[in-house]
Amino acid sequence: GGESGSGKSMLLKLLLYESIKKEAEVKVVDMKGGLDYQGWWKENCKVITEREDILSQLEEIVGKMLERNKLFSTIGARNITEYNEAVGERNKVRRMVVAFDEVAEILDKTGVEKEEKKEYAKIEQLLTRISRIGRAYGINLILCTQRPSTEIIKGEIRVNLGTHICGRADRILSQMLLGNSVAEELISPEDQGVFVMKQNTLFKAYYLDEQSLE
């Protein structure tokens, strides 16, 4: 998370680019109609722009987790790393990254009609399940949002996200993301592309030139 203009969208794209280059299967949820993920992105990852598709994709991912559970159990592997090391290059399973460019658009129920809330709740339930056990099966979530309040990202999802990253932020936003005010203290109002992690690790992200992707 981070304030508008802090560079979080570029950091997300950088993480996705690196994941694609490492041969992960990447899915991106962008409720702005996919405008930020055209050209190279559509060729190299699945861009999801409709709420109905989000639900079906998440159900498919949960199904894949169950398949991998059976697969890993056949050789006694506890996670994707152990399985891939045991079966070798030809039979290994691909890692998957599922990213939400603005997760508040998916989970914020403010002003939503009663019938629609059932769909929101189902998406939240599936995300909770994936966040809880997905990593063991090589399925990783990236949830981006400007203000990740507990009303939007529920506690069970939050505690299962292994890494929290905050860009430029005021004290309240820093507290939401990191549990302290370190982002406000370490990142100046002029900084863009500078982030701090929950362990107080400060870093500058690489700039991704989207016109030169290949």
**Cβ neighbourhood burial of 211 (10 Å; 0-12, 13-18, 19+):** exposed
Other C-beta atoms within 10 Å of 47: how many? 20
The pLDDT score that the predictor gives to residue 116 is: 83
pLDDT per residue over 88-130, tens digit each?
Answer: 899 999 999 999 998 988 888 888 888 788 888 899 999 999 9
Q: Taking 80 as the threshold, does the pLDDT of residue 214 lie above it?
A: no
pTM of structure: 0.91
Q: What is the mean pLDDT of residues 144-164?
A: 86
Assigned token pair, 124: 């939240």
Contact 205, 197 (CB under 8 A): no
pLDDT per residue over 18-54, tens digit each?
Answer: 999 999 999 999 988 888 999 999 999 999 998 889 9
Question: What residue type is 121 in one-letter code?
Answer: A
Bridging pattern class, strands 194-197 and 165-166 = antiparallel
The pLDDT score that the predictor gives to residue 118 is: 86
Mean residue pLDDT of the chain comes to 92
